[in-house]
Amino acid sequence: MYFILVTNFKKKLLLSFSILSLWVLIVVGTGVLIDETVKYTVTVNSNISFSYPATFSISNIFSKNDNAAPYLQASNSNYKKFIDSRSSEAGFEISYPSIFEVNKQNFPGSEILYHIDFRNKQDKAKGGFVQVWSLPYSLEKFLEESKQSAMVDYIDFTTKKIKVNNLDGYFWEYTSKGTSENYKALEAFLSKNSRIYRISYFMPEKEYNTNEYEIFWQIVNSLKVN
């Protein structure tokens, strides 16, 4: 068994973030759409309704009564139900939609103390992670070096200061250029006692909407640090 030891702290940071950036590109680049269990319901004038899989498309809905406008609603409520997750070793808790599946990963030899992936069970192209970093310098310096070392072609990058549950931090929103399509990214970086809490959410740009934005902020606002 062989180990690569990087003694320079800055090099370790750049190496960790570069590996992580590559991991993100692999995750969002190999997403597979699985939506057979999602159903939609069509209701006409509150008198008749029917459901159908999301893989189907409907058109030419006819009603003799012009005032009987049909409307569409999603019957899947998994996004509304959140599951609480606690980590005693990392000293924080967070909630995520039950439609997500989570998986813990280790990054030995890096400054990442804790890392969990989450993916949409029905649309694997949507996912992200929650991380806890241990760093001896400021969040601002971390973000500056992270952006410089990331293997990402940023498009429409914006950043702003945020405060979540008494934690100060920054919010990143950007689009990254992929090989076949662009991806939307939402990221929150919060700090406390030389630790950085990072919450990231990625998806194909064409699938991004206000609902995904709200899901991201529900996750972020659920973060509580002991």
In degrees and rounded to multiples of 5, residue 214 shows phi and psi of -70, -40
Res 150: pLDDT: 81
Res 30: pLDDT: 47
CATH architecture of 9-34+79-225: 3-Layer(aba) Sandwich (3.40)
Beta-carbon contacts of 193 under 8 Å, excluding residues fewer than 6 positions away, are none
- Mind listing the pLDDT tens digit for each residue in 137-195? 899 999 998 888 888 888 899 999 999 999 999 999 999 988 889 999 999 999 998 89
Q: Give the residue among 224, 211, 188 at the shortest CA–CA distance from 95.
A: 224
- What's the token pair of residue 101? 């599946």
- Mind listing the pLDDT tens digit for each residue in 39-93? 444 444 444 445 545 445 444 444 444 444 444 334 444 555 788 877 766 688 8
Q: Give the residue among 195, 137, 153 at the shortest CA–CA distance from 10.
A: 137
What b/e readout covers 141-151, taking b as 16+ CB neighbours within 10 angstroms? ebbeebeebbe
Is pTM beyond 0.75? Reply is no
Question: Are the beta carbons of 127 and 27 closer than 8 angstroms?
Answer: yes
Confidence of residue 15 (pLDDT cuts 50, 70, 90): low
> For residues 67 and 74, what is the distance between their CA atoms, to the nearest angstrom?
22
> For residues 107 and 89, what is the distance between their CA atoms, to the nearest angstrom?
15
- Domain boundaries of the chain, sorted by first residue: 9-34+79-225, 39-74
DSSP 58-100: ------SSTT--EEEEE---TTT-EEEEEETTTTEEEEEETTE
